Each structure stands twice: as C-alpha cells, then as structure tokens.
Structure 1
Amino acid sequence: MLIAQITDLHLGFESGNPNELNRRRLNQTLEHLRAFKPRPDLLLVTGDLADRGEDRQAYRQLKSALEDYPIPAHFCLGNHDSRAPFFDLFSHVPQASGFVQYAIENYPLRVLVLDTLEVNRHGGGFCEERAAWLEARLSEQPERPTLLALHHPPLPTGLSWITENPDALWVERLHRVVAPRRNIVGIISGHLHRPIVALWAGTMLVVCPPTSPQVALDLDTIDPDQPDGRPMIVAAAPGFALHFWNGKALISHFGSARKEAVLARYDARFQRVVRQIAAQGAGR
C-alpha cells in the first residue's frame, strides 16, 4: 500500500489571484504524483488547506485542483483552516461531533484522521471529546495496524520560532491515548513546513514538507522583540511524502516536484549494476 501525503497548501495567500504561486506549486505536486509509478492508493492532505480559513474561494481552488483527480483524496484541517467553510465545499468528508475526525478503512493499513485545529491558536489542540473518539476507534480494532494523520506534530523540534510546547495539555492528552497502543505504526503530520522525523510516544512521527514555500532550517534562539534579518521562508521546491506499508512496517520517503537533472538511466551500461545487486540478493 502506498500513501501520498501533501500538506500546508496555503491556497488564497494571494487573495483574488487564481494563478497564485501556491496554486501553481500545488498543481506541480499533483501532476508529479499523478505520474508516479506505482500510483499511490490514496492522497492525504494534512491541513492548512487555505491560508485564511474564512476564505471560501481558497477551498473552491482546492476542489477545482482535485476535480477528476485519479487518486482519492482525504483531508485534515490545520490552524489556518476553518471548519464551516471547509464543510460547505467538502460536505462529503466525515465528521465526529463537528470535528474532522474519521477512519479510512478499506485498505491493508487503517488510517485514523485527527482534528487538531484549535480556533485562534497557532499550535494544536485535542480536547477530551476528540481523545475519547480516538480511544474508541483504537479499541474497536486493537490488533489492526493503524496510521494516525493530523496537522500539528506534538513535539518540540528545535526550530527557532515554529514549534510546539511539549507540556501543552493537548500533547499530554494525545500521548496518553497513543503511548499504550502497540498497533500504531506511525503518525504523519505537517504544520512545520520542513521534513522532520522523530520518535514520539513509542512510534515514528513523520513531518511532511509543504507544497507551499519552506521554513528555513534554523535551530538558533530567536528574540521576538529583536528582528535580526535571518532567513525565515525559503523557495525550496514543492515537497511531498510517500509512505509505503509493506505489511510489516511503514517506510516514509520525502520527494520534491522539481524536475531534477538525470545523472544516470537504466540503460545497458547501468544494467550491470542492477544485475550485480540482484545477484547478491540485495544483502540477503
């Protein structure tokens, strides 16, 4: 099973411009994934779909971008999103008590989508009601391999200005539900506009790079009262992740939609390398 993930689209950043940079970057990524072989089984879009959640036109852009797209798309919401305008355009997306939380069942790997949007907060949120929903879903199939998808990674990353408080109540609440479960094979998220991998609550947590511009890699301290001219946002290529479930483990890969120069092809000359590795049993 192959899962494609994109995140942090921020459509509507240039309000009123249907050909804005973020839409072009999204289109570039979608076309790249459409052509990928093997084609992914599903596409997880993990939040900050719109740059301003009240902007219904941003959600119309998203709906237009995915119209007739050959890979089934499923959505999380991020802190830039708003539930009511999203549901106006995507009424088919399941919800639980008004939260965008639901299970994706019809694949070898079960996926539980979580809603970590907390209105008027840049960081995440996960109330007792949402936690009870997750606990109930996990208890339904306690042995089945399960992937969690959410927008906010619940861990401190060392990034200078865009990270989470590890002592936040929502982080503790989510940790309490996740940590005892041995069937959770991974957690995927967005929000930080960078590719990051960490171990959290006994499982691998993968942060996907954005389709929109990236946050600069900066682990130095920052003074909110003293601008110092450091880079904050950089024009890295539109990013995505591919999560491969091989029946036993989840393997995550990062990629970009940039057309890269080819340094070698599978021709007669390179065939010797392929045959040699195959003959050696790839390490068996």
Structure 2
Amino acid sequence: MLIGQITDIHLGFEPDNPAEFNRKRLDQVIAYLARPGHAPDMLVATGDLVDRGDGDSYRRLRNALSLCPFPVWPCVGNHDIRENFIQYFPEIPIADGFVQYEVPGTGDLRILVIDTLEEGRHGGSFCERRAAWLTARLAEAPDRPTIIVMHHPPLEMGIDWMDGGPSEPWAMLFAATIAPHAQVRALICGHLHRSISAAWNGVTVTVCSSTAPQLALDLSPMDPDRPDNRPMIIADPPAYALHRWNGRELVSHFDTSGEHVMLAKFDPSMQALVRELMGERG
C-alpha cells in the first residue's frame, strides 16, 4: 500500500486572491501525485488545511482535492475550525465532536486519524474523551499493525519557536494512551513544515514538509526577547511524502514537486548496472 501525505496547506492565507500562492503550490503537488503510474492508493492531509478556518477556504480546498484520482482523508490542525470543516467535508466521520475515525479499506494495515486541535491554541491538544475513543479503537484489533495520523507531533523536534514538548499534558496523555498497544507502528504528522523523523517510545514519528512555504532549518536556541534576524519561513518547493507499507514496515519517502534535473535514465547504457544490482537480491 502506498499512502501519500500532504500537510499544512494554509489555503486562504491570501483570502481575496483566488490564484493565491498557496493554492498554486497545492495544485502543483496534486498534479505531481496524480501522474499516471505514480499515484498513491490514498492521500492523508494532516491538518492546517486552511489558514483562517473560514468556510470559503474549505470550499476552495474541496474543489482542489476533487482533482485527486484517489481518496483523500484529512485531519484538522491548529489553523482549522471544526464547525466549518465539518460543513464542507460532511462525509468525514466525527467521534464525540472530534474529527477522529478509522480509514476504511486499508487491508492488513490499520490507519486511525485523531484530532489534536484546541481552537485558539497553536500547540496540540488531547483530552480524556479523545483518549477514550483511541483506547477503544486500539483494543478492537490488538494484533493488527496500526498507524496513527495526527497534526501535532507529541515530542520536541528542535525548532525552538514551533516546538512543543513531551512534558506537555496533552502529549503525556497521548503517550500513556498508546503505550499499552504494541501494534502502533508509526505516527504520521504535520505542523512543523519540514521533513523530520524520530524514534519516540518505540514508535517511528514522521513529519512531512508542507505544500505551503517551509520552515527554515535552524536548531539553535531562540530568545523571544532578542530578535536575531534568523530566517524563519522560506519558499522551498512544495513538498509531499509517500509512505510505503510492505506488509512488515512503513517506509517513508519525502520529495518536492519542483523540477528535478535528470542526470541518468534507465536506457540501454544503464541496463547492465540495473541487472547486476537487482540480481544481488537473491
């Protein structure tokens, strides 16, 4: 199974511009993912779907995603507003008022989408009601490999001005909720606008870069009282991830939809090398 991921679309950052920069970047990624022979089996959109939570942006997002020749399964992030999201995506399941559900039709792999939004807060949130739902779902299939899709990563990633931390109450509750369930193999997240991977409590956490502009890579400490003119947001090409489940492991690949300059191609001059490399697999 091939799972595509886009995240942090922030559609509506320019609310009065129907041809806004973020929409062009989203369209570019969708066109890239939809290429014949390359399309994933499904696409997860891991939050901050729109920038201001407004209905018009969700309407335009739905229009953009309608071009996908594969099912799209979204979750909400801190820039989203549940009420408006639900109005424009009524087919997405809701559990106890939260955007939480199991993705159907995933074979031997189970995919659970959870809601880490607390409206008015940039960081994550996870409460007892959400924990009860997740606990019940995990108890249903203890032997089935499971991936959890969410917006906020529950650990410190090193980008000081965007980081949460494992000692935040929501992250501690989430960690305690999944700890007894060894079938949880990976978390697929957004929020940080960069491609990042980490091992956390025996679980692989992957964060995908955004279709909107990216965060600059700067892991030095930041003093909020001393602006130092460091880059914060950069216009790298719009990005996506492809997560490949091979029946044993989830293997994540990250790429951009910008132009890639080809230096070699599979033509007769490369055939001997390809045969040699593939022949060594036995």
Whether the TM-score (by the shorter chain) exceeds 0.5 is: yes
Cα deviation 1:175-233 (Å, max 9, x = unaligned): 01112211112110000000000011211000011000000001111111221111010
Q: Provide the residue aligned with 1:186 in structure 2.
A: 186
When structure 1 is superposed on structure 2, of 33-42 and 88-97 the one drifting more is 33-42
Q: Provide the residue aligned with 1:84 in structure 2.
A: 83
Q: Provide the residue aligned with 1:35 in structure 2.
A: 35
In the TM superposition, what is the alpha-carbon distance from 1:5 to its structure 2 partner?
0.4
In the TM superposition, what is the alpha-carbon distance from 1:245 to its structure 2 partner?
0.5
Distance in 1 (alpha carbons) for counterparts of 2:122 and 2:152: 9
Q: Provide the residue aligned with 1:260 in structure 2.
A: 260
In structure 2, what residue type is equivalent to 1:255? D
Stretches of structure 2 lacking an aligned partner (at least 5 in a row): none
Distance in 2 (alpha carbons) for counterparts of 1:116 and 1:280: 45
Q: Provide the residue aligned with 1:66 in structure 2.
A: 65
Cα deviation 1:108-160 (Å, max 9, x = unaligned): 21100000001111100000000000000000111111110000000011112
In the TM superposition, what is the alpha-carbon distance from 1:62 to its structure 2 partner?
0.5
Cα deviation 1:245-282 (Å, max 9, x = unaligned): 0011111110110121100010000111101112222x
Distance in 2 (alpha carbons) for counterparts of 1:227 and 1:265: 47
Cα deviation 1:75-99 (Å, max 9, x = unaligned): 1000000000111111111000110
Q: Conserved in 1, the CA contact under 8 Å of 2:115 and 2:126?
A: yes
Stretches of structure 1 lacking an aligned partner (at least 5 in a row): none
In structure 2, what residue type is equivalent to 1:106? G
Distance in 2 (alpha carbons) for counterparts of 1:141 and 1:166: 27
Distance in 2 (alpha carbons) for counterparts of 1:152 and 1:2: 22
TM-score (ref. length: structure 1): 0.97
Partner of 1:35, secondary structure, is coil
Partner of 1:107, secondary structure, is coil
Q: Provide the residue aligned with 1:112 in structure 2.
A: 112
Distance in 1 (alpha carbons) for counterparts of 2:160 and 2:96: 35
In the TM superposition, what is the alpha-carbon distance from 1:36 to its structure 2 partner?
5.8
Q: Does 1:102 align with 2:104?
A: no
User: What root-mean-square deviation, in Å, do the aligned CA atoms of Structure 1 and Structure 2 show?
Assistant: 1.0
Matches for 1:9-48 after TM superposition, within 5 Å: 9-35=9-35, 37-48=37-48
In the TM superposition, what is the alpha-carbon distance from 1:25 to its structure 2 partner?
0.2
Cα deviation 1:37-79 (Å, max 9, x = unaligned): 34211100000001011x2111011111012421100010000
Q: Provide the residue aligned with 2:163 in structure 1.
A: 163
Q: Conserved in 2, the CA contact under 8 Å of 1:79 and 1:124?
A: yes
Partner of 1:247, secondary structure, is coil
Distance in 2 (alpha carbons) for counterparts of 1:67 and 1:39: 15
Distance in 2 (alpha carbons) for counterparts of 1:13 and 1:222: 26
In structure 1, what residue type is equivalent to 2:62? K
Q: Provide the residue aligned with 1:241 in structure 2.
A: 241
Q: Does 1:278 align with 2:278?
A: yes
Q: Provide the residue aligned with 2:211 in structure 1.
A: 211
Q: Conserved in 2, the CA contact under 8 Å of 1:178 and 1:201?
A: no
In structure 1, what residue type is equivalent to 2:64? A
Partner of 1:277, secondary structure, is helix
Q: Conserved in 1, the CA contact under 8 Å of 2:209 and 2:239?
A: yes
Matches for 1:212-231 after TM superposition, within 5 Å: 212-231=212-231
In structure 1, what residue type is equivalent to 2:104? E
Distance in 1 (alpha carbons) for counterparts of 2:194 and 2:86: 28
Q: Provide the residue aligned with 1:123 in structure 2.
A: 123
When structure 1 is superposed on structure 2, of 195-204 and 33-42 the one drifting more is 33-42
Partner of 1:211, secondary structure, is coil
Distance in 2 (alpha carbons) for counterparts of 1:148 and 1:80: 20
Q: Conserved in 2, the CA contact under 8 Å of 1:179 and 1:202?
A: no
TM-score (ref. length: structure 2): 0.97
